Amino acid sequence: MTGWEMVAVTAAGFAAGGINAVVGSGTLVTFPVLLAVGLPPVTATISNSLGLVPGNLSGAIGYRRELRGQGGLVLRLLPASVLGALTGAFLLLHLPASTFEAVVPALIGLAVVLVAGQPLLQRRIRKERAVDDDGTPRLGSGRLVALFGGAYLTGTYGGYFAASQGVLQIGIFGLLLREPLQRLNAIKNVLTTAVNGVAAAAYVVAATDRIDWPAAGLMAAGALVGGYTGARFGRRLPAAVLRTAIVVLGITAIVVLVTG
């Protein structure tokens, strides 16, 4: 890479780290940049997943206050997300890149609708949930199974192609959990960190030759700073502004994937 290309990759990592902490869809910034500097699509996808993990982690740390009282729920969902990440990584390494092209825009579109209509849906289909003594939501078995399924499916998607993973998670979890949007975002950040981290580890073990280490390192440096910066400002956004940002990024992802 030339000097300017190195700057571009680092800047893309910073932007993606911030976007992922607040909304998700940071891959829409980094993936085209990696392709533009000459990386093949699969190499770009794998290097992208590896490079964005530090940003996911710093974003999750930045949202730690919003995680209070949700530790039990997050720990219950992590195994499903990890299993999904391993499934997605396996699919990426063994299936043609065109396999999910028709499905992904539809999934993101559904998530956008769920996020946009979340307040109305909450009022119509949810009842007040009981909580345990430590504040952890007490969930019925049916809803817990649905949450496990959502964590697994979004983890699989994230392990395969990370763009808008966060939009999908907030859309699904927002339908099943009676939590403010910022607290849903905190859950999303932790699960996304787990998904991308596990997928990246799987790539390091099974596909080391497909990783562009300089690109991944530059992106990681930018994403680490961007993730914390994004969390610092994003957690102060009013719910309506955050919801609008998620919907706009989701629609942008659909347009990019359909027209790209």
Judged by phi (left if over 0) then psi (alpha if -120 to 50, else beta), residue 66 lies in: alpha
Distance CA 167, CA 171 (A): 6
pLDDT digits (tens, 9 = 90+) for 30-82: 888 888 888 887 788 889 888 999 999 999 999 989 888 888 889 999 999 99
Q: Which of 208, 141, 169, 142 is nearest to 84 (CA)?
A: 169
Helix, coil or strand: residue 131 = strand
Structure tokens at 119: 């307040």
Q: How many structural domains compose the chain?
A: 1
- Domain boundaries, position 167: 3-259
Mean per-residue pLDDT over the chain, rounded:
81
**Rounded alpha-carbon distances, angstroms, from residue 194 to 123, 153, 245:** 31, 14, 23
Q: Which of 65, 58, 63 is nearest to 227 (CA)?
A: 58
The pLDDT, as a whole number, for residue 191 is 93
Is residue 51 within 8 A of residue 13, CB to CB? The reply is yes
Q: φ, ψ for residue 131 (rounded to 5)?
A: -130, 155
pLDDT digits (tens, 9 = 90+) for 116-168: 766 666 565 554 444 444 444 556 677 888 899 999 998 988 887 766 777 78
Distance CA 178, CA 193 (A): 22
Structure tokens at 123: 């009022």
Of the two residues 83 and 256, the one the predictor is more confident about is 83
